[in-house]
Amino acid sequence: MRPAMKPLKPLDEALAELLAQARPLPATDQVSTLDADGRVLAQDCISALQVPAQDNSAMDGYAVRCADVTAPGRVLPVAQRITAGSACAALPPGSAARIFTGAPMPAGADAIVLQEDCQALAVERQTPSGSAQMPSGSGQTSPDHGLGQVQINARPQPGQWLRHAGEDIRRGAVVLTAGTRLTPATLGLAASIGLDRLQVARRPRVALFSTGDELVMPGTVPPGQMRPGAIYNSNRFFLRAMLLRLACEVSDLGIVPDQREATEQALQAASAAHDLILTSGGVSVGEEDHVKPAVQALGRLDLWQIAIKPGKPFAYGRVGPAHFIGLPGNPVSSFLTFALLVRPFVLRLQGMADVAPKPIAASARFAWPKADQRREFLRVRQHPMGGLELFGNQSSGVLSSAAWGDGVVDNPAGQTIAPGDSVQFIAFSQLL
Ligand code: AMP
Ligand code: MG
């Protein structure tokens, strides 16, 4: 007689239960900001200065007082030359300053005129007569600073091409908060307030192993010599890669045979020095699925059948001090349950608060006429003209779908899709 089926657990419920177990690792590391990409901040980053520190020029050109250029064509003596990183003096009334992008604005100046809108005039005594014309209307003679003169051909508006002190970051502002996962842009932002080292969450230590007597490591047996029924271990490659992208330290424990004793030994050995033991395969309820009884013998196990397709079997438990997560063996199931459940879990271990992927609305360019009882994650790809294309074979064993796709449609249970329907798209860039 078949045992009574437990109802399948909704994904959101499974994720909430899983995250409730993922208490952030206590220790932190201090790392160079240069090496912190992908790590999760363990500190708030507070700016001790304003950025930019001073008003400065957004372009190469001339700093002026707008009151001195009430009409195009005015000629002003060039009082100083200000380069990025240099100091400057106040701008005397009736003069201009040659200025470059990022250079500090001299006191008194209130606009930058683009160099394209200016004409530099050489100092009159050094030029052949007639070439440095004094435009009409500039009646007065100007002091000569040895930098020549400039004709301003466009009337400036106050504040134009000026970057204001503090317009990016105010002094005392919390620029990044603890729990933020660092990206190239946030590393730059931290550096812009002078932080050369950052306190980040310790890397989770993850032991990874695959189960299955049919598995062969690529490189050990050539394709032509594979025995009948043997398959190459593909899960190991994407699981390891995804863990590394999530800043984990991975101990690769290889393939564990479908034997109870070997499985227990592998789990036991891994439990002491790892935060998480992650396995693929062997978590269904067949007689050759030894992971379940082995974890139960050594610790505790919550085996869930999750109401998603693909990816139904999923196990969470503990082996000694380590967390245990057992993923299904089917490659696409393994890939997606990692993305939907393990990724949030390992990010939460690092103290990241907002770990849920963010779907966006997109238009289907395909039909999905047969609704499923489970919430489905369909492998799709963004079409260059907009909308989503569906991969033809959505079987949980067809890893080509995940390699071809650039995301999934999160399709609610019982939902069919017609071309043009709005669907929820989760990009793999959100999941990996
Ligand atoms: P299992 O969950 O162990 O029953 O495995 C389900 C299916 O996934 C079987 O067809 C296995 O051969 C396949 N499978 C399990 N582990 C892997 C792996 N590491 N790489 C590729 N396929 C796998
Ligand atoms: Mg198996």
Q: pLDDT tens for residues 300-358?
A: 999 889 999 998 889 999 999 999 999 999 999 999 999 999 999 999 999 998 998 99
Tell me, using a 6 A CB cutoff, whether residue 333 lines ligand 1: no
Closest-CA residue to 216 (of 199, 205, 207, 229): 229
**Does ligand 1 come within 6 angstroms of the Cβ of 363?**
no
Among 209, 215, 333, say which to mutate for ligand 1: greatest number of ligand atoms within 8 Å of CB: 215
Q: Which of 118, 79, 82 is nearest to 100 (CA)?
A: 82
Ligand 1 centre distance from Cα of residue 197 (Å): 43
Residues of the chain with pLDDT below 70 are 1-5, 123-144
Q: How far is the CA of 327 from the centre of ligand 1 (A)?
A: 10
328 Cβ closer than 6 Å to some ligand 1 atom: yes
Per-residue model confidence (pLDDT) at position 93: 97
SS3 10: coil
210 lines ligand 1 (CB under 6 A): yes
The predicted pLDDT at position 137 comes to 40
Q: Which ligand is nearest to the CA of 288?
A: 2
Nearest CA-CA partner of 206 in 236, 175, 165: 236
Identify the residue whose C-alpha is closest to ligand 1 atom 23: 329
pLDDT at 352: 96
Confidence at residue 431, expressed as pLDDT on a 0 to 100 scale: 87
Query: What is the structure's pLDDT at 142?
Result: 53
What is the 333 CA–ligand 1 centroid distance (Å)?
A: 10
Calpha distance 89→112 (Å, rounded):
16
User: Quick one: CA dihedral 315, 317, 319, 325, positive or negative?
Assistant: positive
Question: Is 286 strand, coil or helix?
Answer: coil
Using the mean position of ligand 1's atoms as its centre, give its distance from the Cα of residue 130 in Å.
87
Using an 8 Å Cβ cutoff, are 243 and 226 in contact?
A: no
pLDDT for position 134: 44
CA of 256 to the centre of ligand 2 (A): 10
